[in-house]
Amino acid sequence: MDIKRVYSSTLIRAMQTVNIVTAINPTFLQELDERDFGIFTGRKKLQYTKQFFPLGENNNIIKNRVKKALKKMILDNALVVSHSHIYQAICEVLKVKKNKIKNGEIVKFCENGLREWNVKQIEDISIKRVEND
């Protein structure tokens, strides 16, 4: 993958991932941070209902946040390091047919020339650190 730019969530685990896979200085965007789970922040998924997060973010808030992020990003040859709910929102905003990106899955967003987007799963990848030119 020919990575020209990197966009990352500001959360520590995303920053750590960026440091593992590339030496390119990322642009950190708070809009790529994980959903605010409100009173359920820090709890295991079994302890809450997936669609309701008191004092947290709903899907519309996340989609609006993602729209702001996309206006700041150039997706061509970009690495985006974020979180599963954010990737799902990106797919919804871009109207990507496959929008079930799994946590930890590496995919490529591809524009087909008709202003339509697809997601291609990258199965055979050897992770090697991408250095600045």
126 found inside a domain: no
Q: What is the CATH number of the domain that holds 82?
A: 3.40.50.1240
34 found inside a domain: yes
User: How far apart are the C-alpha atoms of 15 and 49, rounded to whole Å?
Assistant: 28
Burial track 68-98 (b if 16+ CB lie within 10 A, e otherwise): ebbeebebeebbbbbbebbbbbbbebbebee
Summarised one tens digit per residue, pLDDT across range 38-56 is 887 877 766 666 666 778 8
Domain range spanning residue 80? 5-121
Tokens of 122: 């990258």
CA nearest neighbour of 63 among 93, 36, 33: 93
Side chain identity, residue 8: S
pTM of the model: 0.79
Is the distance from CB of 93 to CB of 66 less than 8 angstroms? yes
Q: Lowest-confidence range among 26-35, 69-78, 97-106?
A: 97-106
Bridge partners, 42 (sequence order): none
